[in-house]
């Protein structure tokens, strides 16, 4: 077991680069898990000046990282130098991220949805905006340097080759040496060795483009997002957004709007199955829908005899005739008058028969 300054136990190697090793470690004093970055001086000591450059970078990284106090930047806890096997090596102690970097995260298909990617990118962009507010340029923005915690928070990591934005900044690289990842480096850096905060904007836009292509096919990127990324990726720094904060403003609004649209489409109720409309039947004579059949009365009427043969059919015919008429119809009015006359005649005939019967009865008694 390796022990640094009697405090940090190095338990397992997490990663190794050209300049340093990152270890999973245990802080005995505060009893917590940490990440320890140790300079791999031997791998750079091809020439004495290489080792000196590495030491200067580490000293600067410790100074720069100490300025960072942002929830979207990996936090520095401690720094120092330790002796091991007659060699003095500097180290940095940082918070240990329980999670994975953006490249690892996007390998899982379930992580390729736009809402999750949008949250990660805007988190990391907030870290970059904060760094620029402290006059610090990152210089190595790439998916491997965006860490995603278990709670979904994204943090910008590895300010190991960051520089402070000063007019007379000291260059701590050898002549003609490109520091950083070329696939994400801005044209002015690759061609002229010149790096500014606008170069960080370019690098971050490259990362955004790659990440969003996991949610959209390359040719299906929404036009609003594509226009914003195209501006941030302009080869001419003067045509880009002039700060990370300006890029953040437009990018965040556009990507969140697209996320809401995607969520709305997912949550929208499915349409009802299509039905074939049924054309209503109409009467050839009146052009009106046919009347529904009359509900049965519940009384079984005889179908034979005088009622079934004469009276019931006559009443049914009368009912059908009346239902086919309206009150303003002349036939309806005539039918009403004729019915009233028939009723009057019948009533008069009954009165006449009754009077005749009374007279005959009286005469018989006399």
What pLDDT does residue 323 have? Answer: 62
By CB neighbour count within 10 A (0-12 exposed, 13-18 middle, 19+ buried), where does 157 fall?
A: buried
Residue 299: count of CB within 10 angstroms of its CB: 5
8 Å CB contact between 187 and 237: no
The verdict on whether 158 is a catalytic residue reads no
pTM for the whole structure: 0.65
Greatest Cα pair distance, the chain, in angstroms, is 165
Do residue 235 and residue 341 come from a single domain? no
Are 161 and 20 contained in the same domain? no
3-state secondary structure 148-209: EECCCCEEECCCCCCEECCCCCCCCCCCCCCCCCHHHCCHHHHHHCCCCHHHHHHHHHHHHH
Q: Within this chain, do residues 136 and 152 fall inside the same structural domain, yes or no?
A: yes
Helical packing angle, 244-267 and 114-133, nearest 10°: 160
Helix (H) or strand (E) holding 33: strand 32-39
What averages of pLDDT result for each successive group of 10 residues across the chain (366 residues)?
93 83 95 89 50 70 80 91 82 92 94 92 97 91 95 88 50 47 90 92 97 86 94 97 97 89 66 56 50 52 56 65 59 70 79 82 74
Domain end: 250, 266, 282, which one?
Answer: 266
pLDDT of residue 35: 95
Residue 81: which CATH number?
3.30.200.20
Evaluate whether residue 317 is within a structural domain.
no
Query: Distance of CA 194 to CAs 121, 245, 350, Å?
Result: 26, 21, 126
* 247 belongs to a structural domain: yes
Gap between the Cα atoms of 201 and 163, Å rounded: 15
What is the per-residue pLDDT for 188?
94
**Do the domain assignments include residue 297?**
no
C-alpha span between 127 and 72 (Å, rounded): 5
CA distance 173 to 53: 7
Are residues 104 and 249 located together in one domain of the fold? Answer: yes
Q: Which of these, 128, 117, 103, lies nearest to 15 by C-alpha position? A: 103
User: What's residue 361's pLDDT?
Assistant: 79
Domain boundary among 95, 127, 162: 95
Q: Which of 233, 266, 299 is the last residue in one of the domains?
A: 266
* In a shared domain, residues 250 and 143: yes
Domain that holds residue 125: 99-171+181-266
Distance CA 291, CA 323 (A): 10
Q: What is residue 310's predicted lDDT score, i.e. its pLDDT?
A: 59
Residue 8 and residue 77 in one domain: yes
Q: Are residues 160 and 194 in the same domain?
A: yes
What is the total count of domains within the chain? 3
The verdict on residue 244 lying in a domain is: yes
Could you tell me if residue 62 is inside a domain?
yes
* 256, 332: one domain: no
* Same-domain check for residues 25 and 142: no
The reply to whether 131 and 67 lie within a common domain is: no
Is residue 277 included in any domain, yes or no? no
37 is in an annotated binding site: yes
Identify whether residues 90 and 115 lie together within a single domain: no
In this structure, what CATH number is given to the domain that contains residue 148? Answer: 1.10.510.10
- Choose the catalytic residue: 40, 50, 123, 140: 140
């Amino acid at each position: 077991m390796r022990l640094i300054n009697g405090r940090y136990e190095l338990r397992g190697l997490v990663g190794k680069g050209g300049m340093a090793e990152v270890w999973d470690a245990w802080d005995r004093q505060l009893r917590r898990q940490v990440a320890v970055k140790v300079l791999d001086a031997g791998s750079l000591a091809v020439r004495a000046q290489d080792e000196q450059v590495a030491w200067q970078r580490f000293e600067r990284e410790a100074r720069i990282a100490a300025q960072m106090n942002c929830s979207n930047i990996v936090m520095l806890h401690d720094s120092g130098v330790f002796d091991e096997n007659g060699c003095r090596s500097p180290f940095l102690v940082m918070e240990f991220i329980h999670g994975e970097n953006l490249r690892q995260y996007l390998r899982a298909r379930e992580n390729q949805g736009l809402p999750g990617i949008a949250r990660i990118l805007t988190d990391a962009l907030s870290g970059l905006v904060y760094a620029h507010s402290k006059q610090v340029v990152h210089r190595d923005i790439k998916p491997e340097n965006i860490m995603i915690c278990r709670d979904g928070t994204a943090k910008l990591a590895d300010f190991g080759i960051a520089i402070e934005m000063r007019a007379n900044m000291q260059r701590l690289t050898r002549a003609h040496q490109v520091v950083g990842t070329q696939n994400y480096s801005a044209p002015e850096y690759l061609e002229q060795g010149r790096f500014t905060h606008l170069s960080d904007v370019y690098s971050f836009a490259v990362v955004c483009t790659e990440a969003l292509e996991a949610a959209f096919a390359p040719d299906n990127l929404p036009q609003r997002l594509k226009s914003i990324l195209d501006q941030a990726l302009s080869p001419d720094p003067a045509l880009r957004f002039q700060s990370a904060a300006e890029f953040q403003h437009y990018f965040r609004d556009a990507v969140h709007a697209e996320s809401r649209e995607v969520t709305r489409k997912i949550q929208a109720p499915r349409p009802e199955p299509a039905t074939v409309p049924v054309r209503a039947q109409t009467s050839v004579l009146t052009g009106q829908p046919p009347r529904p059949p009359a509900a049965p009365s519940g009384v079984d009427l005889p179908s034979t005899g005088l009622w079934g043969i004469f009276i019931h059919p006559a009443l049914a015919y009368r009912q059908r005739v009346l239902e086919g008429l309206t009150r303003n119809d002349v036939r309806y009015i005539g039918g009403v008058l004729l019915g009233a006359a028939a009723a009057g005649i019948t009533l008069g005939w009954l009165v006449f028969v009754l009077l005749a019967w009374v007279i005959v009865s009286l005469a018989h008694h006399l």
